[in-house]
Chain A
Amino acid sequence: MHIHFLDPYQVGISPIHRTDARVKLVLALAFIFTTALVPVGAWPILILLLVIVVSMEVLSGVGVGYILKRALLALPIILAAFPLIFTIPGMSLFSFSLGAWEISASIAGVERFISIAMKSWISIQMAILLTTTTPFPDILVAMRAVRVPRLLVAIFGLMWRYLFVFADEAVRLLRARAARSGVSDIAGLRTGGRLVWRAQTAGGLAGNLFMRSLERSERIYVAMLARGYDGEIRTLPQAEMETYNWIVLGFGGGIMGLVLILSLLMGA
């Protein structure tokens, strides 16, 4: 089994796919930054940002449903902000008693909670859109363009190259463990050992994976040497950007600027 399905990139020919990765990375970051600056309870701006990201999704042809589903999967952590509804003082929305406590939800708390949830939902959609429409090697080039250290980008690139190899390796280790482990249907017959033992076995797999990866990294290093690697990371010079990309960058940047101004106005 290959884990290629892990790669979220989806091939397409939409205008979003065609846009230079550098433009997309910068605009996606600007969008998430803008979203972070939206004041609590500024619903029109949040809806506007949602409209923008959903329009981009429609335009990308990836499938709005697909992106929304992935965005929901990543959001159970929103519950971390849930208690805010009850702890922020303010005009009471409703209250109930739980045992000895009188718990009341405040309007300010609900506003803050929904704002956080929406911001995080909008931001994650933009991040998903970026990775589904941009092949990772292009994102690496874009990271170079925004001055992420060359060495770090090279490490990311190599990691990406071997991610799927080791995911396969991990799956094989898990399959081998499953093959070694007996499971019984007989009621009362305990299988699977104690918890501590199970954890240690998983640890053995981790140690095994680590050892294999270290040995593999040696072989990779030797293979790189054989191909003339001398420790210097050489990259192709950044390609010229076509007019189309400059237009997209200017247009997107302009919209983000306007939304920022709008945020400032609403912030009052």
Chain B
Amino acid sequence: MLLSVEALHIPDGFLSLPVSLIAWVISITLVGYALRRVGQDLGERQVPMMGVLAAAIFAGQMLNFAVAGGTSGHLIGAALATILMGPWAAILIMTSVVSIQALIFQDGGLLVLGANIFNMAIVGVAVSYMVYQTILKITGNTRKGVLIGGFSAAWLSLEIAALSVALQLVLSGTSPARLAIPAMASVHALIGIGEGLITVGALTFLLSTRPDLVRLGKTNPAGSRIVWVIGFLLAAAIAIAAPLASTRPDGLEWVAMQGGFIDQAKAPLYQIIPDYLFPGVANEAAATIAAGLLGLVIVFGVGVGVAYSRRNRQASGR
């Protein structure tokens, strides 16, 4: 359906190139830093631990429960990974999960993978961490605090990630703000409750079987303050931008649609060919013909390529 959980995995074709590229730059920077940080904390354990836990979170997304009318809720896992493994490790785990989903199962596109990593691995983890740490600080490190913190972290991080997806779609001119933002916000407010309950269930289980694991999330406080700040800034920025964008569709959307954003970004590219015509071709009709010829050359090239390799295959005995 339109707003299944998978709505958080953006496919290729849905984001404009500038939005995808900016998201790539942010994601690469933070994931690169996370790799270094986790390397310092875990040393040579990093690869086996991160790989195995990413596989576990991936498989954990199969664990579901019936909601109503044939629908079901299932785990996404950013908050759980953050609470148990600390923010930097969780960024790596979620990045791996999102990347493998895109690479192998086409759950989310390849060119927009940077944006999907940003939404699920960076927004999801940083906001989870910020909420969980804040609540633990208020309630003290008690069982109740852990559970309340777990629920709130799961709910809010999913909500903010969903709004971040909606904003990217709006910025790309793919969805109208006044529909996409409220729709994503309300549906994920519900899905977030499921995510929160599963996270609480998992934490309850671990508190009674391996209470040491629940304390594991406390890594080097100095470095983690950065994550808290990132989480706070992301949550605040997205939470402010989303309602603004949806109540004044002439804001963001205007930027996206009225050509400002998209065309400005593309303009330098088109400048390669002066006046949008073929270099050296003076009038428009001639340019159109040139374009048509170019198309023919491409089709011909593909045809020849296919035929040639077919012949090769037959020659090699098939």
Contact = CB atoms under 8 A, between A and B. Distances in A.
A214 to B, nearest CB: 7
A30 B162 CA distance: 28
B239 interface: no
B295 A163 contact: no
B59 A199 contact: no
Contacts of A48: 295, 298-299
State the majority secondary structure of interface residues on A: helix
A204 B111 contact: no
B2 interface: yes
A80 B64 contact: no
A89 to B, nearest CB: 9
A83 B179 contact: yes
Contacts of A121: 13
B201 A210 contact: no
A241 interface: no
B103 A139 contact: yes
Nearest to A262: B294
Interface in A112-128: 112, 116-124, 127-128
B301 A163 contact: no
A120 B298 contact: no
A63 interface: no
Residue with the highest number of chain A CB atoms closer than 10 Å, among B7, B173, B295 = B295
A174 B312 CA distance: 49
- Identify which of A112, A117, A124 gathers the most chain B CB atoms within 10 Å of its CB: A124
B50 A211 contact: no
B12 A166 contact: no
Nearest to B107: A74
B59 A196 contact: no
Contacts of A196: 197
A203 B297 contact: no
B66 interface: yes
Contacts of A92: none
Contacts of A251: 301, 305
B13 A29 contact: no
A151 B4 CA distance: 33
- Which of B13, B60, B197 lies at the interface centre, i.e. has the most chain A CB atoms within 10 A of its CB? B13
B298 to A, nearest CB: 5
B309 A55 contact: no
Given A83-B176, A202-B75, A221 B14 contact: no
A131 B103 contact: yes
A211 B209 contact: yes
A36 B206 contact: no
Given A51-B299, A170-B59, A210-B84, A264 B270 contact: yes
Contacts of A169: 59
B31 A152 contact: yes
Contacts, number: 335
A37 B20 CA distance: 12
B273 interface: yes
B287 interface: yes
A105 B58 CA distance: 41
A204 B205 CA distance: 5
A127 B105 CA distance: 9
Contact of A207 (B7, B31, B59, B204): B204
A266 B213 CA distance: 58
A127 B174 contact: no
Contact of A32 (B14, B109, B175): B109
A61 B11 CA distance: 25
A171 to B, nearest CB: 7
A166 B20 CA distance: 32
Nearest to A171: B62
A258 B310 CA distance: 23
A209 B54 CA distance: 12
B84 to A, nearest CB: 7
A32 B60 CA distance: 30
Interface string B211-235: 0010000000000000000000000
A214 B89 CA distance: 13
Given A163-B58, A204-B202, A83 B175 contact: yes
A128 B12 CA distance: 12
A170 B65 contact: no
A259 B298 contact: yes
Interface of A: 6-8, 13-15, 28-29, 32-33, 35-37, 44, 48, 51-52, 55, 58-59, 70-71, 74-77, 79-84, 87-88, 112, 116-124, 127-128, 131, 136, 139, 149, 151-152, 154-163, 165-167, 169-171, 173-174, 192, 195-196, 198-214, 216-217, 220-221, 224, 229-231, 233, 251, 254-255, 258-259, 261-262, 264-268
Interface of B: 1-2, 4, 6-7, 9-14, 16-17, 20, 31-32, 35, 39, 43-56, 58-60, 62-68, 73-75, 77, 80, 84, 92, 95-97, 99-100, 102-107, 109-111, 169, 173-176, 178-180, 194, 197-206, 209-210, 213, 257, 266, 269-270, 272-273, 276-278, 287, 290-291, 294-295, 297-299, 301-302, 305-306, 309-310, 312-313, 318
14 contacts: A48-B298, A51-B299, A55-B306, A74-B11, A77-B14, A152-B35, A155-B92, A161-B55, A162-B56, A207-B202, A211-B213, A213-B56, A221-B45, A266-B291
